[in-house]
């Protein structure tokens, strides 16, 4: 029986790239996104045809615990969980509404709890499983004008390290990857001038690609089981 990976935020960017990378390796997939139903179904069909895998898709707002519970009942056995879905807010903290703050926290951090508390029991029962949480360099050093996002990603890092210790005796590995600037739709709010200024700060002299990010996630999944509780940074030497 092939192993199945569940990927949130899978209709585009890093999530889509991770799906492509794992499909090539023969994983069955359960792909989740919040609203792009047509796009994610198209991706699932393409991956099935290209790689001979089974790819299920579902619309689910991972910031909503009840929707997550319904989705997990549909998903069945999950061997790999990739918590990738995220949103950002760029602006002064004092300009944020309570609703905007809670939405960032629910999507970027609380969703990890909603998903892990339902998926972890089956991994513990099998004494096998991999969880990869997608984080950011801002979770390590913080970013002006992105206080909520930085706070949530800092929480992702702590969540990862703590859960890894909790699950290590059950042979379930939990790791995170803190990405720097990756060329995805999350950066569309920045001007070409802003992106060029960012590029000039990066020693690698370029913006990272989603394909590279997806490949890094695959490599973390394939790492030896003794690697757990780690936050791997991939940022071109930036931070």
Contact (CB, 8 A) for 98 and 105:
no
149 noted as active-site residue = yes
Contact (CB, 8 A) for 43 and 15:
no
With residue 131 as reference, give the H or E element that holds it.
strand 129-136
Closest by CA position to 173, among listed 120, 130, 127: 130
Long-range pairs, 163-167, Cβ under 8 A, ≥24 = 163/116, 163/120, 163/131, 164/228, 164/229, 164/230, 165/229, 167/120, 167/123, 167/124, 167/129, 167/131, 167/228
Set 27, 89, 114, 149: catalytic member: 149
- The residues that are catalytic are 149
């Amino acid at each position: 029986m092939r192993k199945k990976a569940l990927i949130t935020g899978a209709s585009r960017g890093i999530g889509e790239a991770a799906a492509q990378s794992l499909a090539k390796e023969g994983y069955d997939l359960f792909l989740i996104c919040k609203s792009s139903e047509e796009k994610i179904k198209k991706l699932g069909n393409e991956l099935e045809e290209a790689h001979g895998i089974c790819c299920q898709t579902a619309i689910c707002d991972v910031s909503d615990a009840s929707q997550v519970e319904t989705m997990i009942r549909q998903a069945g056995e999950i061997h790999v969980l990739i918590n990738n879905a995220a949103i950002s807010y760029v602006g002064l903290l004092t300009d944020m509404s309570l609703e905007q703050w809670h939405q960032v926290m629910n999507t970027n951090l609380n969703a990890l709890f909603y998903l892990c508390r339902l998926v972890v029991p089956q991994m513990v029962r099998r004494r096998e499983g991999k969880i990869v949480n997608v984080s950011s360099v801002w979770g390590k050093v913080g970013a002006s004008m992105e206080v909520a996002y930085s706070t949530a990603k800092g929480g992702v890092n702590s969540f990862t390290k703590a859960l890894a210790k909790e699950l290590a005796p059950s042979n379930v590995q939990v790791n995170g990857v803190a990405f720097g600037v990756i060329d995805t739709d999350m950066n569309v709010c920045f001007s070409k001038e802003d992106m060029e200024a960012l590029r000039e700060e990066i020693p690698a002299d370029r913006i990272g690609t989603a394909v590279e990010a997806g490949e890094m996630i695959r490599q973390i999944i394939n790492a030896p089981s003794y690697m757990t509780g780690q936050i791997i940074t991939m940022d071109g030497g930036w931070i």
